[in-house]
Amino acid sequence: MSIVADTSAAVIPSGTWSIDPSHSTVEFQIKHLGLATVKGRAPVVAGSIEGGPQPSIEGTVAVSSITTFDETRDGHLQSPDFFDAERYPELRFVSTGVEIQGDTLVVQGDLTIKGVTRPVELRGVFAGTGIDPWGNERIGIELAGTIDRNEFGVSWNAPLPGGGFLLPDVVQLSASFSAVKAA
């Protein structure tokens, strides 16, 4: 059985939509030595999308769930050098504005990492609506943007013998949300 998506809607349909943690992720990628891209991901543990004329999006990620599929690196990411999971167990995003510009969904919001909140802009698409095999109405949203990790206190780095540093400041973010209409 397949889901048939309707992507003709120009705005997020009215109502409250609960982000489905098993079908929603936040991902990041950063260059390592300027040579290879390292990617990480985490499921969204809680979140909601409010549709209609004044849409909003909010979500939370457990820092402990972040994985790059390398235990040593993941342990370092949990440490105070990076996310300091013991002191700051969650990453949080709360939109402050959502608008449609042509086919692009533009989301302004406040991102909190390591206890520091900064404004960010994410751009993407409203992927459409569909009914899953169990009769639940769903929507999909895909977003992406960049942040300077230093602005959030995630500034660990290592100098390279030939000059420069192990990691750049800019991190690419992406999020994919599947949300179910709340009863």
Query: Rounded distance, CA 181 to CA 176, Å?
Result: 16
In a domain, 164, yes or no: yes
Q: CA-CA distances (angstroms) from residue 38 to 30, 61, 74, 88, 140?
A: 5, 19, 12, 23, 26
In a domain, 34, yes or no: yes
In a domain, 2, yes or no: no
Identify the CATH number of the domain in which residue 139 sits. 2.40.128.110
In a domain, 6, yes or no: no
Q: pLDDT tens-digit profile of 63-97?
A: 999 999 999 999 999 999 999 999 999 999 999 99
Count other Cβ atoms within 10 Å, centred on residue 81.
12
In a domain, 116, yes or no: yes
Q: pLDDT tens-digit profile of 122-150?
A: 999 999 999 999 999 999 999 999 999 99
Query: Rounded distance, CA 179 to CA 183, Å?
Result: 12
pLDDT of residue 1: 35
In a domain, 114, yes or no: yes
Residues in the chain: 183
Domain hosting 27: range is 15-181
In a domain, 4, yes or no: no
Q: pLDDT tens-digit profile of 50-61?
A: 999 999 999 999
pLDDT of residue 5: 41
pTM for this predicted structure:
0.91
Question: Are the CB atoms for 143 and 108 separated by under 8 Å?
Answer: no
pLDDT for residue 8 is more than 80: no
Domain count, the chain: 1
In a domain, 7, yes or no: no
